[in-house]
Amino acid sequence: MTTTDVLHGPLAATTPLSPEVLACPHAFNERLRHEAPVYRCPHTGIVFVSDYATVCRIAKDYQTFSNKFGQAMRSEGEVDPRLRDVQARGYPPVDTMLTQDPPLHRRYRGMVNEAFTARRVATLEPYIERLCHELIDGFVDAGRCEFVEAFAERVPMTVIADQLGVPLSDYDLFKSWSDAFVAQLSRLASPDEELAAMKLIVDFQHYFANKLEERRHDRRDDIISDIVHARFENERPLDVPEMLSILQQLLVAGNETTTHSIAEGVLLLIENPDQHALLKADPGLIPNFTEEVLRLSSPTANMWRVVTRDTEINGIPVTKGSMVQLRFSSANRDEAVYPAPHRLDVTRDNARTHVAFGHGVHMCIGASLARGELNVAFRVLLERLDDFALDCRPEELVYAPNVLLRGVSKLPIRFRRR
């Protein structure tokens, strides 16, 4: 498929889940908003929702549009028997936070809420600032780096590992496990890639099951200890599969989306030198810049819902059991809400209304931590470095297709020390 097909062919000529659209969704999303903001794809039967108002309405209505899509994803199609064999060596999947609805969702989430409050994040900011400086010290003299690996992924991964209470010497393991979960979410991995990811996920389960057992006898000031010693509905402790489900979500959500946002922020500065100049002249604009980065990057580009009863969406009948995809990346560029929606504007007065963290009861638990990390990272980067430029041709930048997540895989840059 070519860009021309996406821009000018009939909508039915492709699917919103095609690798080309997932890698670069903005042109197709714009067509959806203008031609069919509620679109039942003839290829998949999935209903795609792309305008801001409807995305927000559905995201809040968990009674009709349930987040319990985990089972639907797990039972999709035939399962490779090799996958079943590997998974049998680990722990069964459990629906806890992301793929659960209230009241259970609220109870699971309540067990880790305290670690992600704005108050708690404020106490972490000096630590995040030191980490950012240390990372920049490691590459500043070279005048160039592959920014994702050198900085963007290391900030959030290091912070979440530290908060979980696992040794940073195992950083490479955490990264490989996070990548495995992302590959699983992509829905585009080959059978061999799925098998490799499942093996890593089982390794993750056994590693953290051991950590959970350690914390039963040696409680510390970390999230693993909090989970182990929490009581579900003030009665029973969580079982190991439940705890692993929560830890898995924190590991991925705690780093992958923030990594993409940090990298996208620097790319946006490269592409918008006038906005970079505004930030240098007034660093007080950095928090609003962070919101614009989140709006434009939408690292959680899409999210699923399962319809619980026959209903309609803006007059389109939708039957019970249907899959609905909320296209957050489209809602965040809705012209009805954001004038000149594709443009970075660090002074945009409604930037914070974006849905990059979701909306309603399932708004990302780590939103405060992500904002804190982004604000500090951008402030330190702007203090230390200047004259950002790509160290490759723009067409060489790769956004790996993923049904839910989106971000640039590598970002080679040049810069000058300030």
DSSP secondary structure code for residue 150 in this structure: I
Per-residue pLDDT of 16-61, as tens digits, reads: 999 999 999 999 999 999 999 999 999 999 999 999 999 999 999 9
* Contact indicator for 251, 207 with CB cutoff of 8 Å: no
| Separation CA 59–CA 326 (nearest Å) | 8
Residues 6+ apart with CB under 8 A from 35: 11
Per-residue pLDDT of 340-371, as tens digits, reads: 999 999 999 999 999 999 999 999 999 999 99
Read off the pLDDT of each residue in 277-297 and give the average, rounded to a whole number.
98
Q: Going along 253-401, which residue ranges are E strands?
A: 302-307, 311-313, 316-318, 323-327, 385-390
Domain ranges of the chain: 41-417
Q: How many CB atoms lie within 10 A of CB 246?
A: 23
Give residue 282's identity as a one-letter amino acid code: D
pLDDT in the model for residue 74: 66
Question: At the topology level of CATH, where does 41-417 sit?
Answer: Cytochrome p450 (1.10.630)
As a whole number, the mean pLDDT across the chain is 93
Residue 7 pLDDT grade (very low, low, confident, very high; cuts 50, 70, 90): low
| Separation CA 122–CA 125 (nearest Å) | 5
| Separation CA 5–CA 28 (nearest Å) | 10
Q: Which two tokens stand for residue 290?
A: 């962070």
The least confident of 122-136, 164-178, 227-241, 269-283 is 227-241
* Contact indicator for 279, 382 with CB cutoff of 8 Å: yes
pLDDT in the model for residue 3: 47
Per-residue pLDDT of 200-237, as tens digits, reads: 999 999 999 999 999 999 999 999 999 999 887 667 88
Give residue 174's identity as a one-letter amino acid code: F
